[in-house]
Amino acid sequence: MVQTEKLYEGKAKILYSTADPQILLTVYKDDATAFNAQKKGQIKGKGEINCTIAAALFQFLEKAGIPTHYIDCPQKNQMRVKAVTIIPLEVVVRNIAAGSLCRQTGLPEGQILPKPLVEYYLKDDALGDPLLTRDRLLLLNLASPEQLATIEEITLKINQQLQEFFKLCQITLVDFKLEFGFDSQQQILLADEISPDTCRLWDSTETDPQARVMDKDRFRKDLGQVESAYQTVQQRVLAAISNLSTINSD
């Protein structure tokens, strides 16, 4: 794969241009950060694992009719993606109370929400990714009301699909973060990644509140066994994809 110019280095990925201006190359790193990069470390093998999981989930979602930026993976930690203009929004979906929702509202961790909660945060590290109201989002011209309606509709569809998928993996999808971008035709595509770095995933075969954690909270909270948790998510995701393709080809 010919990497040309390094366009951007983020906390978990590096973005390169390619010979084709419509295609970018994303290289997933082992670097891990938390609390707005105040905590830094490495999770061995994370680059390959997250890229593999994200690729599997993007392909699964494409089959369910959700347009994504995914093209293919030339190597285990590399993903070719369609070039998009990223909307500077972190779209968070919550099915169960955890993390900042508990800290900011007092809801107990683990409380099942009556319906999925969709939240918008401004993607701006300098401002600490603040929670936005709908009116603030529109005030900042981050999306038009119609585009926002499309984003919410796609987001809820993704949540439904991923909840069902992770059930097959004996994993509870607690919450997750999505990013979207506009392609050259102004179509909204799911972009960035979906991985244990960007989701809260609880092992549904475990009841212990620490033992069940299979995502970046193991790193954030120093729970140990971070690598093995990520590996288990990868194994279960790939097994579920393989079962689904066997069922579909029968």
The verdict on 179 binding ligand UDP (CB under 6 A) reads: no
Given a contact cutoff of 8 angstroms between Cβ atoms, the answer to whether 162 and 64 are in contact is no
Judged by CB under 6 A, does residue 129 bind ligand UDP?
A: yes
Q: Stretches 1-9, 39-47, 175-183, 233-241: which one binds ligand UDP (CB under 6 A)?
A: 175-183
With CB under 6 A, what is the number of residues at the site for ligand UDP? Answer: 14
Choose which of 69, 216, 218, 236 interacts with ligand UDP (CB under 6 A).
216
- For position 154 contacting ligand UDP by CB under 6 A, the verdict is no
Is 100 near ligand UDP (CB under 6 A)? yes
Instruction: Decide: 181 and 85 in contact? Cβ < 8 Å.
Output: yes
Q: What does the alpha-carbon distance between residue 81 and residue 71 come to, in Å, rounded to a whole number?
A: 5
Nearer Cβ to ligand UDP, position 48 or 90?
90
Backbone φ and ψ of 46, nearest 5° = -60, -40
Q: Which of residues 37-96 bind ligand UDP (CB under 6 A)?
A: 90, 92
- With residue 75 as reference, give the H or E element that holds it: strand 70-75
Find the binder of ligand UDP among 45, 67, 99, 110 (CB under 6 A). 99
Contact 90, 181 (CB under 8 A): no
Residue number, 1 or 140, with CB nearest to ligand UDP: 140
* Minimal CB distance residue for ligand UDP: 99
* Shortest distance, position 162 Cβ to ligand UDP, whole Å: 12
Minimum distance from residue 98 beta carbon to ligand UDP (Å): 6
Least Å distance, CB 59 to ligand UDP, is 20
The least CB distance from residue 248 to ligand UDP, in Å, is 29
**CA dist., res. 138 & res. 35, Å (int):** 27
Does 236 bind ligand UDP (CB under 6 A)? Our answer is: no
Residue type, 49: I
> Which residues are CB-neighbours of 138 under 8 A, at least 6 positions away?
144, 145, 148
**Identified binder of ligand UDP from the candidate list 29, 46, 177, 212, rule CB under 6 A:** 177
User: Which pair of structure tokens corresponds to residue 33?
Assistant: 């950060």
Ordered DSSP codes for 176-242? EEEEEEE-TT--EEEES--STTTEEEEETT--STTTTB-STHHHHTT-S-HHHHHHHHHHHHHHHHH
| Interaction residues for ligand UDP, span 186-215 (CB under 6 A) | 198-200
Helix (H, G, I), strand (E, B) or coil at 51: helix
DSSP 125: G
56/98 with CB nearer ligand UDP: 98
> Residue from 175, 218, 226, 240 that binds ligand UDP (CB under 6 A)?
175
Q: Do 110 and 172 meet the contact criterion of CB atoms below 8 Å apart? A: no
The binding site for ligand UDP (CB under 6 A) comprises 90, 92, 98-101, 129, 175-177, 198-200, 216
